[in-house]
Amino acid sequence: MEYRNLGRTGVKVSPLCLGAMNFGMAAEEKESIEIIDAALDVGINFIDTANVYSRGVSEEIVGKALRQKGKRDRIVLATKVWARMDDNDPNAQWGTRRHIIEQCEASLKRLQTDTIDLYQIHRPSSEYPIDETLRALDDLIRDGKVRYIGTSTFAAWQIVESLWVSREYGLNRFVCEQPPYNLLDRRIEREMLPMAQTYGIGII
């Protein structure tokens, strides 16, 4: 298996990342664990999930599978935060400090790990300042609960803005972006890819 650096970090990841969005939904637990085992057996060392996938069940399955396999330390484990997890609490959502800190703790428990290798903001939003998000993520890194931070479905200009804020305030910066990209949607080729190359942002 070939391995590549994740952005400008020293972390080596397989070109193929196992996405766990359907774990606990289209794929039940037994099948999901079998998929994870098969991926690890062929050398895939990069697994991506999110707190909102199956309302936490996906993370629980990934955590259980890695513990059973005994290979957590060899896996680059990525998850995301953003969506509402409590429909009755208006503050339990988005990129606010409270939501990020609370959901990181919950994800750590579900994943049965002490550290998340890559913690990503699942969606951008104009409802909160990016510096609040970055300060919360920076604290998680300093506390040893997160190693690196990234984005998902951000626009190129939003990532550049975040890099400026990180530099101005001395905060850890985003190292990667996870954009939509397929034969029918190639928009990232216009702005995202040139920006990523210029600033050393990895593309997942």
Q: Which residues are catalytic?
A: 53
Q: Which residues contact 94 (CB under 8 A, 6 or more apart)?
A: 82, 125, 127, 128
Query: How many angstroms separate the Cα of 83 from the Cα of each of 21, 30, 153?
Result: 14, 26, 13
Helix residue ranges, H only, the chain: 29-41, 57-69, 97-111, 130-142, 156-169, 192-199
Q: Report the 10 Å Cβ neighbour count for 73.
A: 7
Separation of alpha carbons 64 and 47, rounded Å: 13
Query: Can you read off the two tokens belonging to residue 49?
Result: 């999930």
- CA nearest to 152, candidates 192, 180, 193, 182: 180
The separation between CA 184 and the C-alpha centre of its own chain, rounded to angstroms, equals 24
